[in-house]
Structure 1
Amino acid sequence: MTPPRSADEHAETVARLLAPLTAEPAVESLPLAAASGRISAGDIRSEVDLPLFRNSQMDGFAVRAADIRRTPVALEVAGDIPAGHETPVAHTPGTAIRIMTGAPVPAGADAVVPVEDTELILGRDDDLAGAIVEIRRSRERGEYVRERGSDLRRGEVLVPAGTRLAPRHLAALAAAGVESVLVRSRLKVGILTTGSELTTPESPARFGQVFDANGVALAALVEEAGASVAVRRTSDDDPATFARLFDEAVASCDLVITSGGISKGAYEVVREVLAPRGAEVTTVAMQPGGPQATAVVDGVPVLCFPGNPVSTQISFTVFLRAPLRAASGLDPLPLSTARLAEPVRSVPGKRQFLRGRLTDGEVSPVAGPGSHLVAAMARADVLLDIPAHVESVDAGSDVTVWTL
């Protein structure tokens, strides 16, 4: 009997399997509105200065700082510039021009006095003809004036390559007049969950049936890792049905993931169908998640996870999350250490991935090690990584944790 491989050895196998997906990443152009969450394929440089023109930071009055050295001072109101004003205006020394936030600062003016520091002593807000404004506070040159290009110069990098485009990036790109961006194409992933016992919330669960948690979990994990779910199907334990659904997924996807059907018992449909097609079905010395399988079918990498809901999620986290993020252009999520709040025991010879909750640098186990405890998994936010050679860990010890 072949001894179980270590979790690190299986992780290396999976990384090699997915390596071709990162070799030459494909790119595509997307409208800016459709690019949220996508990875920029190259540096995006601004074709304009930001701000586009010299403009006012406040509602107030554009003046020369030299004219308001001593305050209070009364100045003639020589004009009015609302936001969106398209005709250049020149400022005359010794006068003030009313200006709104974002409006172009007139040539010759070098400061803006906020409206709170002024008062119209002649004229009305709706009729500035012959108006006089009293300036009650002096301002230095440049105060409340946004200079052209003070945020970014034309030709400078607005968003670097490899950036996951968040709302703040989209806002900056939109401000620079960018219509579309080059992003890395998302890998198309197929997900096949197996088991005649599976049903969906649309149908009441009959005796002996369970709701399919793995399809939902894997789809969310795939999306979180930067890929897209192209196919998601559920198969019963009929080999012909699984084979048909599997071939459809392989034909349209870059990667296929299955859950269930690879243990050593009867009705193991994934093993029955894929082993003759070259799948390597193995056991990994870890708990949960011992049964694992890999294959390449028609050039498409295939990863087969065990079917218990916790086992499926942990298998994805330990084996697939990092290489899938790399293939998607995302950085890996780093491991960290935390202080154990209470002692734990571990099964000798198996690397344990216990569920835990992290609070102020201290981690507490959540529920037991059972691979069916999907509700307990929801209460956890980290995995406690207990090495295979360790049988117990004392409270206060440092342990490695994986962020969920």
Structure 2
Amino acid sequence: MVANDLTSVDDALQHILDRAPAITRTEAVALTDSLGRVLAENQYVPADVPPADNSAVDGYAVCLADVAAGKPMSVSARIPAGVAPGTLAPGTAARIFTGSEIPEGADAVVMQERVERTDEMILIQAEVSEGQNIRRQGQDLARGDLALAKGKRIRPQEMGLLASMGMSQVPVMGRLRVAVLTTGDELVEPGQPLDSGQIYNTNRFTLMGLLAEAGCELVLCETLEDTREATRSTLESAAAKADLIITSGGVSVGEEDHVRAVLEESGKLSLWRMAIKPGKPLAFGEVAGTPVLGLPGNPAAVLVTFLVVAMPYIRKRQGRLDLLPVGEYLPAGFEVTSTSVRREFVRARKQGSAEGLAVVAYPNQSSGVLSSACWGDGLAVVPEHTAIHAGDLITYYPFTELLS
């Protein structure tokens, strides 16, 4: 905890993660549809990859004992990829291609660039060593080894690895079902004209994009009326459909902030007000047994609190192993002279100069300035009670790392 009844970022995150059970639903999907999904089972290697010794280059397979400097060798065979190689005739070489299986009796491959060929004879013009240019059976994956662990998020490289194991179907965790509820009678959908006092519903579309990137299933997306009963009714309806409810706005101390009040009256509120900037009015609780994460109402604060707090929670609910992002340490290209009890996440980007790479901050860090995140490519961290001077090493999280 910190002063003024604010919960520190670390304590708040631990509190939320302690209440993030992994979903138990699993399904099998086609390998082509597995990108971004989370493995539901350990994946063990069913057979060696590659299944046999094969050539790493285009060239000539030889037996080292038959190679002598200045001695021509006849070419007795041609081995394209995908063809059974047979046995190398003693004292000869076999024309071989990248990926082709090594014939029995050969123990090296000479690159074609190192060979002079005339008709059906070759003259090797380089030293040859045993195992040269041969990819050994099982050098990538050995039968029975653990290839990928349960909880691994599948990226393109994991798709390729699963394909190399012959898998066409992949067991994955079910998608986390999320309801998004934005609050405010002043909100208008894009495409509609604005009357006095109205604004467009920015947060709905930010959250829809964030959840899609996070691999979640959006099951409900509505704007709440600014009444206590409408808020309660919609939250209870969302709880019946979703694994998680995310709200934006309605969790501060105003008379029209009904989300927090409903959590206290009809559900459970276990966390409120976090020592983070932007985004202090953040709430966590539940309604009808379904977790509710109440984000602030300002657009930049919604983005920051989602990336810092909601994403680790979602990762754990998805059964993932990697809950927290990995940051970089880079020199600051900005200054923060006044200290605060709140940890600040500055919209920033990396920028090169004659002095090297540094992190520069967007000039306006207001919680309502979402354009700062479009200008930036990540968040720089200003720790609690800390002033930052140009050149100080700070932690920087690229958006790609925060959302992957």
Q: TM-score range by the shorter chain?
A: 0.7 to 0.9
TM-score (norm 1): 0.81
Alignment of 1:75-224 (within 5 A): 75=74, 77-85=75-83, 87-122=84-119, 131-203=120-192, 205=194, 207-224=196-213
Is the alpha carbon distance of 1:368 and 1:62 closer, same or farther for their aligned partners in structure 2, counting shifts above 3 Å? closer
- Report the equivalent of 1:125: none
Cα displacement (A) at 1:136: 4.0
User: In the TM superposition, what whole-angstrom CA distance separates every residue of 1:177-210 from its partner, at most 9, and x where no partner exists?
Assistant: 1223333333222111122332344445555433
Deviations 1:72-99 (A, max 9, x none): 5141x322222111x4512211222222
Equivalent of 1:367 in 351, 363, 374:
363
Distance 1:147 1:342 in 2: 52
SS at match of 1:295: strand
In the aligned structure 2, how far is the partner of 1:180 from the partner of 1:313? 35
User: 1:142/1:4 Cα in 2 relative to 1: closer, same or farther (>3 Å)?
Assistant: same
- 1:378 correspondence with 2:374: yes
CA gap 1:51/1:343 in 2 versus in 1, 3 angstroms: closer
Cα displacement string for residues 342-373 of structure 1 (whole angstroms, at most 9, x for unaligned residues): 44354866555444445567544422342211
Distance 1:78 1:335 in 2: 57
Counterpart amino acid of residue 76 in structure 2: A
Match of 1:306 among 285, 296, 303: 296
Contact residue 53 and residue 147 of structure 1 kept, 8 A? yes
How many residues are treated as equivalent by the alignment? 388
Out of 311, 322, 326, the position equivalent to 2:316 is: 326
Other structure's SS at 2:240 match: helix
1:274–1:163 CA distance, 2 compared to 1 (3 A): closer
Identical pairs, percent:
31
How far apart, in 1, do the equivalents of 2:286 and 2:232 lie?
A: 15
**Larger CA Rg, structure 1 vs 2:** 1
Give the superposed CA RMSD. 3.4
SS of 1:7's equivalent? Answer: coil
Map of 1:344 onto structure 2: 336
Of 248, 252, 265 in structure 2, the residue corresponding to residue 276 of structure 1 is 265
Say which SS state the counterpart of residue 252 (structure 1) adopts: coil
Per the alignment, do residues 286 and 134 of structure 1 end up closer, same or farther by CA in structure 2, a change over 3 Å counting? closer
Does the Cα contact within 8 Å between 1:42 and 1:182 map onto a contact in 2?
yes
**Counterpart in the other structure of 1:128:** none
Q: Distance in 2 between matches of 1:165 and 1:45?
A: 15
**For residue 54 of structure 1, what is the aligned residue in structure 2?**
53
Query: Contact conserved, 1:335 with 1:400, CA < 8 A, in 2?
Result: no
- For residues 112 and 344 of structure 2, the distance between their equivalents in structure 1, rounded to whole angstroms, comes to 66
CA contact (8 A) 2:250 2:258 kept: yes
Q: Which secondary structure state, in structure 2, belongs to the residue aligned with residue 98 of structure 1?
A: strand
2:389 aligned partner: 395
**What residue number does 1:294 align with?**
284
Q: Is the 8 A contact 1:78 1:95 kept in 2?
A: yes
Q: Which amino acid aligns with 2:5?
A: R
Structure-2-length-normalised TM-score: 0.81
Q: CA 1:365–1:20 in structure 2 vs 1: closer, same or farther (change >3 Å)?
A: closer
Cα distance between partner residues in 2 of 1:311 and 1:290? 9
| 1:13, distance to aligned residue in structure 2 (A) | 5.7
Q: Structure 1 394/332 Cα, relative in aligned 2: closer, same or farther at 3 Å? A: closer
* Residues 118 and 214 (structure 1), Cα distance of their counterparts in 2 relative to 1, 3 Å cut: same
1:397 offset after TM fit, Å? 8.2
Note the C-alpha offset of 1:142: 2.0
CA distance in structure 2 between the aligned counterparts of 1:171 and 1:334, rounded to whole angstroms: 24
Cα deviation code 1:89-136 (max 9, x no counterpart): 1221122222222222221222223333334423xxxxxxxx444444
Displacement after TM superposition at 1:226 (Å): 5.5
Structure 1 pair 25/14, CA: closer, same or farther in 2 (3 Å)?
farther
Residue in structure 2 matched with residue 127 of structure 1 by the alignment: none
Offset, 1:242 = 4.8
- Would the aligned equivalents of 1:384 and 1:402 in 2 still touch at CA under 8 Å? yes
| Cα 1:147–1:18 shift into 2, 3 Å | closer
1:289 positional shift? 2.3
The 3-state SS of whatever aligns with 2:20 is: helix
Letter in 1 for 2:325: L
1:330-353 Cα deviation digits (max 9, x unpaired): 231256766554443548665554
Change in CA separation of 1:331 and 1:69 when aligned onto 2, cut-off 3 Å: farther
1:190-269 pair list within 5 angstroms? 190-203=179-192, 205=194, 207-225=196-214, 227-237=216-226, 242-243=231-232, 245-269=234-258
* Contact residue 288 and residue 311 of structure 1 kept, 8 A: yes
CA distance in 1, matches of 2:310, 2:46: 39
Q: 1:7 to 1:220 in 2, by over 3 A?
A: farther
How far apart are residue 273 of structure 1 and its match? 5.1
Contact 1:279 1:293 in 2 (8 A): no
Unaligned 5+ segments in structure 2 are 400-404
Q: Secondary structure at the match of 1:22?
A: coil
For structure 1, which segment, 197-206 or 55-64, has the greater mean C-alpha deviation from structure 2 after superposition? 197-206
